[in-house]
Amino acid sequence: MASKFLGLACIRNESWHTRPHYPSMPKYPKGFDVKEQSIEGSESKALYSVIGMTCSACAGSVEKAIKRLPGIKEAVVDVLNNRAQVLFYPAFVNVRSRFLEFGFWEETIRETIEDVGFQATLMQDETNENSTQVCRIHIKGMTCTSCSTTVESALQEINGVKKAQVALATEEAQIYYDPKVLSYDQLLEVIENTGFEAILISTGEEKSKIHLKVDGVRTDQSMRMIQNSLQALPGVQDIDIDLPQNKFSLSYKADLTGPRNFIDVIESTGAGRYKAAIFPEGGGRDARRKEEIKEYYKSFLWSLVFTIPVFLISMVFMYIPGIKHVLETKVVNMLDVGEILRWILSTPVQFIIGRRFYTGAYKSLRNGSANMDVLIALGTNAAYFYSVYSVLRAATSPHFKSTDFFETSAMLISFILLGKYLEVLAKGKTSEAIAKLMNLAPDTAILLTVDDNGNVRSEQEIDSRLIQKNDKIKVIPGAKVASDGSVIWGQSHVNESMITGEARPVAKKKGDKVIGGTVNENGVLHIKVTTVGSESALSQIVRLVESAQLAKAPVQKFADHISKFFVPLVIFFSFSTWLAWFLAGKFSTYPKSWIPSSMDSFQLALQFGISVMVVACPCALGLATPTAVMVGTGVGASQGVLIKGGQALESAHKVDCIVFDKTGTLTIGKPVVVKTKLLKNIVLQEFYELVAAAEVNSEHPLAKAVVEYAKTFRGDDENQAWFEAREFESITGHGVKAIVQNKEIMMGNKRLMLDNNIAIPTDAEDMLDESEELAQTGILVAIDREVIGVIAISDPLKPSTCEVISILKSMKVKSIMVTGDNWGTANAIAKEVGIDTVIAEAKPEDKAEKVKNLQASGYIVAMVGDGINDSPALVAADVGMAIGAGTDIAIEAADIVLMRSNLEDVITAIDLSRKTFTRIRLNYIWALGYNLLGIPIAAGALYPPFGIRLPPWVAGAAMAASSVSVVLCSLLLKYYKRPKKLDNLEIGGITVE
């Protein structure tokens, strides 16, 4: 949307109809009178992702091209982050809506960048920068897909809500909204208006937030004084006070301050009278789940207190002579003691313990939908109120003998509560993976006090939640690393399996990074903390997995579609069943011997109708997909495979073709110079001084390898500056040009030389051929338009690459390699690993185009890559898989992140997705099977031939069992083991920083 009115910046106080410089710009439709306007006023900005830049020269060319457009105030291009920020005047914001459909606003800037040779994509709207926040809300009371769909639809209709996801399994909503348009309080209100209780989890407003409890405060004035002291600290953004609990909630910038500073300020403010500590945790997902389990357990136990006596009076005591006589004693007319007792005992179960079903049914019907509570309320009410009618008629008639169903309504509610208890118990286990991740961080840490010379002066054990950025902490053998950081002293091996899934401990030394929650094995480490709280790797992984569990898989649409008609259809079937049996009995179309002695034809028909109503379970359908996705994504996280939701899982299980990038994916990604051949008499060090001066401006991995090798000739002076390179130019996919020491340096492949009419000597050709046969990359070096040397660079294959390709073939998955490297090297690598199809010398857009061609041929394509230039292909593929050690942009663009950077995790990801979807299919078989078999049996299909009848309380138990069965089926994924073929591979576990 942003870029669609960037074209407005192309006007400088002139009429749009008379712009001579843009003849290709479309004419405006008749009837639009666009007048001359001034562009003076405040400026706005738009942010673009620019793919394909390799160096500062690329950035400069993009920047110049944008600045040449009239109306652009400023353009800043960041080559490292591949972004372009455009500043312009928003004078014509109100005009843009009239022309959005024509799309030329977006094309103006995009085409300008693409004309320079790069791909541009809008990243955010210039008028809404940082205007989207993500709010997470816990929703209590949802019972089936109909409930979650109702809430989701209500949220989507609100002005300001950009996207809303409501997950039945996690009972959470994730809402992307514009805080300028509405507040999270309004979101809570909308949810509560749909009939459910809403509890705020996070608003998306704060990066770092902490809750502190202060003891010793006796007056409101003291609380205000403490608030003023805290507010004065640098980095403190907002402070909320809860006076009754003496609680402070602070939002702050972790770079400037932290929780220890807050505690020091509080305790010094009161001259020692006040004591501050982190407020006890509570209200998290685990706590809410435990509360829900406790609530259902309590309700079930109370229902048993009343239901068991009702059952005994109805089914057992009637066969014990002495007790039977007492129960059959008449009180008024034909009303006996047993009926009164059943009525009294079942009433609390129906209206007090079962109140939740009335409440849920009322709220659901009020919103124009029908959920499981409607079925339960109708079924139990039919049984209960018919029984009340029967009892009252017996009390007023000397001849009518009543038959009541009080035990039906009481037992039905008890069994449903038991089923819900077992269901929430099992659902709690589906999110154990997140709970385990969140509990990885240790409770305490050893804080070091260090002097200016780096010597440790003291050690102090503190609560790990009090750690601040730039703290120095000590990690002893066997202890967990308390926070993300870098090693400043010591050597050890750290077990990172709980974060990355990598089984082998990773060696750590000074300068290496460590991840919070990992286990130090055999040495003492001193670590400088770099990230804390929500910015830590552990927190980001937890957020990603939580978001994945909220995202719906496309197959979920099947259940959502059925849920719209499920309950009304069941009610129709139930009424039809009752009517059919009632009319059949009324007109004696079946033998009277079919009617039990304790009933008449109406009562028999009523039981069939109630059984149909309560045997059908919409919950099981709603839980079939999300519970399996929850367990699958959680298991993936524990295996080092981060799957971004149900969409990625569903696409991955269909993959039959994988496109691999070469550098950093099939290979380690850290090229090294292995051979140099000079064709002229020149000192090798002088040669590399010139070469490195030209290549140091390039971000390409091969250029970095050349520069690193050139440093070896300098010895102790390796940090010395290189010669100045003038007129540097990077030719994408070919090489570089520059003027160094008044010499024209040209480095790259054969195409670069031929395009510049530079002859390639036979010796150089032979060297290139030899390099290609050895899977090495040959770089030609020309000085003053004469080839004087060839540099051979090798990038070793990752361990087990060949075995992974072989296993993929056995899984009937086609492997293709796409690389920007030359054909000879690409073919040599492909031959070595067993890949038949190769695309070489490919630009980023060529990779994406290849993916699209494969999709057009009918393949479901996965792209595996690690670099910025892989991002377009990662997005274009059905499933993008990013190597964890790759760039942030590649990881952001991907659907699946392989944290260990091991290729065997590609197989794990595909296999896990296939196993997960096998579970989803089984879940649908369970859910639909219960309903498709249960409804006919409950309707009496087996009664005429076999005399088999499904009493309502048994039907209720079957309904509860269907949900429990689905959740338990999903839970079996917790025992997932990756393919045995992978266990025989020697895992390299190589991570390149």
Q: Which residues are catalytic?
A: 661
- DSSP, res 667: B
DSSP 677-711: EESSS--HHHHHHHHHHHHTTB--HHHHHHHHHHH
**How many Cβ atoms are within 10 Å of 510's Cβ, its own excluded?**
12
Question: How far is residue 274's CA from residue 272's CA, in Å, rounded to a whole number?
Answer: 6
Question: How far is residue 722's CA from residue 743's CA, in Å, rounded to a whole number?
Answer: 14
Exposed e or buried b per residue across 6-39, where buried means at least 16 C-beta atoms within 10 angstroms of its C-beta: bbbbbbeeeebeeeeeeeeeeeeeeeeeeeeeeb
Q: CB of 480 within 8 A of CB of 440? A: yes
Strand partners, 863: 659, 880
**Quick one: three-class SS letters along 117-164?**
CCEEEEEECCCCCCCCEEEEEEEECCCCHHHHHHHHHHHHCCCCEEEE
Task: Count Cα atoms within 13 angstroms, Cβ side, for 42.
Answer: 4
Exposed e or buried b per residue across 749-785, where buried means at least 16 C-beta atoms within 10 angstroms of its C-beta: bbebbeebeeeeeeebeebbebbbeebbbbbbbbbee
Question: How far is residue 342's CA from residue 339's CA, in Å, rounded to a whole number?
Answer: 5
The count of residues in the chain is 993
Pick the closest to residue 412 from 468, 350, 469 (CA basis): 350
Pick the closest to residue 155 from 145, 147, 165, 142 (CA basis): 165
Question: How far is residue 556's CA from residue 394's CA, in Å, rounded to a whole number?
Answer: 51
**How many Cβ atoms are within 10 Å of 941's Cβ, its own excluded?**
15
Q: For the chain, first and last CA: distance in Å?
A: 37
**How many Cβ atoms are within 10 Å of 593's Cβ, its own excluded?**
7
User: What's the token pair of residue 323?
Assistant: 């007790």
Question: How far is residue 76's CA from residue 83's CA, in Å, rounded to a whole number?
Answer: 8
Q: Report the amino acid identity of residue 233.
A: L
Tokens 């939701």 map to which residue?
645
Residues 6+ apart with CB under 8 A from 877: 659, 851, 861, 862, 863
Strand partners, 481: none
Residue 430 burial (C-beta neighbours within 10 Å; 0-12, 13-18, 19+):
buried
Quickly list H helices, 743-843.
750-755, 762-773, 801-810, 823-833
Residue 680 burial (C-beta neighbours within 10 Å; 0-12, 13-18, 19+):
exposed
Greatest alpha-carbon span in the chain: 127
Q: CB of 271 within 8 A of CB of 217? A: no
Q: Going by DSSP bridges, is the β-strand pair 44-51/119-124 parallel, antiparallel, or unpaired?
A: antiparallel
Query: CA dist 505 to 477, 502, 541, 991, Å?
Result: 13, 8, 20, 12
Q: Report the amino acid identity of residue 100.
A: L
In three-state secondary structure terms, 938 is helix
